[in-house]
Amino acid sequence: MSTRHIVVETRLGPVTLVARGGTIADLYFRHHVRRPPQEAFGPEVTDSTDALLNEAVRQLGDYLAGRRRQFDLPLAAEGDAFQHAVWDIVKAVQCGDTTTYGRIAEQVGDRRLAQRVGRAVGANPLCIFVPCHRVVGSDGSLTGYAGGLKRKQALLEIEEPSAAGAGRLF
C-alpha cells in the first residue's frame, strides 16, 4: 500500500491523518509547525475506502469526545534514534498525567539534554497519538506545542475536564 491521507473535521479544527502502508505515520493540524508539504501526504482518500484511516478517524473522534483514553493503532513515525527514544517515553505518559522535558531528559540519560528533548518532542509527527501535549515546562506551564498552545490546553482539558474547565476549547 502507498502513502495516502484523509482530512477530518474535529472540535480542534481540521486534522490530516497520513498512512504509509499499514501504519499511521503522521497527524497534523492545518497550521502545524513543521508540517510537510501537502504532496508528501499522498492522495486523499475517504474513510470508507481505507480501513486503517477509518479506524484512526474513529479512535481520534472517540478520544476527542472523551470516550477513549488510549489508542490502539499501528504507528510508524519517521525520526532518528534519539527522537524515537523520546517519543517512546512520551507514549508511556498516561492520559491525565503530565511530565516535563527535564524528566524525559533524565530518562534518556542526562538532564542537560532538556532542550534537545524539546526539539524531539516538537518534531513528533504523531501529536495526539504520541501525546506530546502531556509534556509541560518544569514549573507546570504550557510550553511549545506544534499544534498551538490553545490546542494543547484543550487536549489536557479533554483528559482532565474537572481540573481544567470542562468543555472550554479555545
Active-site annotation, residues: 132
Closest Cα to residue 80, out of 104, 33, 116, 110?
116
- DSSP codes of every residue in 70-100: S----B-----HHHHHHHHHHHTSPTT--EE
Residue whose grid cell is 486523499:
44
- State whether residue 61 is helix, strand or coil: helix
Cβ-based neighbours of 103, under 8 Å, separated by 6 or more? none
Beta bridge partners of 43: none
Q: Are strands 135-136 and 99-100 parallel, antiparallel or unpaired?
A: parallel
